[in-house]
Amino acid sequence: MTLLEEETRHSLMIEGNIVSKQELRKIIGEGVASRHSAQEVLAYFEAAVSAYELAFQQYKENDFQLTKPFVRQVHALMFRGVDHFAYEPGAWRNGPIKIAQARVEAPPHHKVEKLIESLVKTANQSAANPIRKAAVFHSIFEQIHPFPDGNGRVGRILLNYILIAHGLPNIAIKGLETEKNEYFSALESSDAYVSEVLRGVKRWTRAQNKPFVGLENLICKNLAISLDTVICTRFVDSGSVLQPLDEVAKHIKMSYQSLRTACSQKKVISMKIGGRLLTHPVLLKKPTT
């Protein structure tokens, strides 16, 4: 799967929309979807493609910029062609909202527009490193919960937008149970701080590392996975064949288990294809040391 397909599958999984890799490829390949859940998959993918093209353009021009209309546009694209969407695509919520599984309360709807305005302005002016910027932006965006639905998905696209606009690859925050819980607790650990930011008690540019460190670490972990995929794909594109881990282990006279551990410790560059980890002897960085 490409990075973008992987991201789409997991972002939808976090939201509870589970599609197999085969199904996802078919939906994206055909570019049409009849079922509601498939329409959401296609719309997410297309919204991400369009947002990341712009982000990459900004990276090339060294001109990172998020705007309020752009945030609304991502939401509109996210629901383009999605039947039965009960709201106006791209429109802010017009009433209170509960953030699923969170204890913190989202601010009242009449504050949404101003809060988003201030969030994008601060993001544009911030000199924070891109991982910090993406983590803080995402945490604040999620607590504002500006739309009646789709806040998780739009927020994850905007997180990746920030990474790409700063020259990094997009990440797929995993929707599998353990990783999803890790993501939710990372957001929860910044809830109290973000509440104060939203009430105007604190400014996020002065944020200490602590409230956001969980989400920053999660971004870093997933960036390492994305970079492995970028490297492996480039390797395959230039004509080399990746090999299953057990074969490589035999080749270098190492136990399969040790090599697997080395992969998870990021001492070896590898990529999962068809449920199997693949690598190549050339990609090994002395896993035993």
Ligand X SMILES: Nc1ncnc2c1ncn2[C@@H]1O[C@H](COP(=O)(O)OP(=O)(O)OP(=O)(O)O)[C@@H](O)[C@H]1O
The contact set with ligand X (CB under 6 A) reads 14-15, 99-102, 104, 142-143, 149-153, 155, 184, 187-188, 191
Residue 152 counted as an annotated binding residue: yes
CB of 143 to ligand X, least distance (A): 5
Is 239 labeled as ligand-binding?
no
Residue with smallest beta-carbon separation from ligand X: 152
Alpha-carbon separation of residue 6 from 114, 185, 271 (angstroms): 33, 22, 12
Residue 70 interacting partner from ligand X, Mg ion, none (CB closer than 5 to 8 Å by kind): none
- Active-site annotation holder among 10, 138, 145, 280: 145
Please report how close the Cβ of residue 45 comes to ligand X at its closest, in angstroms: 14
Residue with the shortest CB distance to Mg ion: 149
CB of 26 to ligand X, least distance (A): 22
Shortest distance in whole angstroms from residue 150 CB to ligand X:
5
Q: Which stretch binds Mg ion (CB under 5 A): 65-73, 116-124, 146-154, 234-242?
A: 146-154
Q: Which partner, ligand X, Mg ion, none, binds residue 146 by CB below 5 to 8 Å per kind?
A: none
Instruction: State yes or no: 154 annotated in a binding site.
Output: yes
The reply to whether 151 sits in an annotated binding site is yes
Segment near Mg ion (CB under 5 A); pick from 40-48, 141-149, 188-196, 237-245: 141-149
Do residues 223 and 163 make contact, with C-beta atoms less than 8 angstroms apart? Answer: yes
Find, among 185, 194, 171, the residue nearest to 105 by Cα: 194
Instruction: Kindly list the distances between the CA atom of residue 232 and the CA atoms of 4, 171, 184, in Å, as whole numbers in the listed order.
Output: 15, 16, 30
Catalytic annotation on 110?
no
Binding footprint of Mg ion on the chain (CB under 5 A): 149
User: Mind telling me the catalytic residues?
Assistant: 145
Q: Which residues participate in the annotated binding site for ATP?
A: 149-156
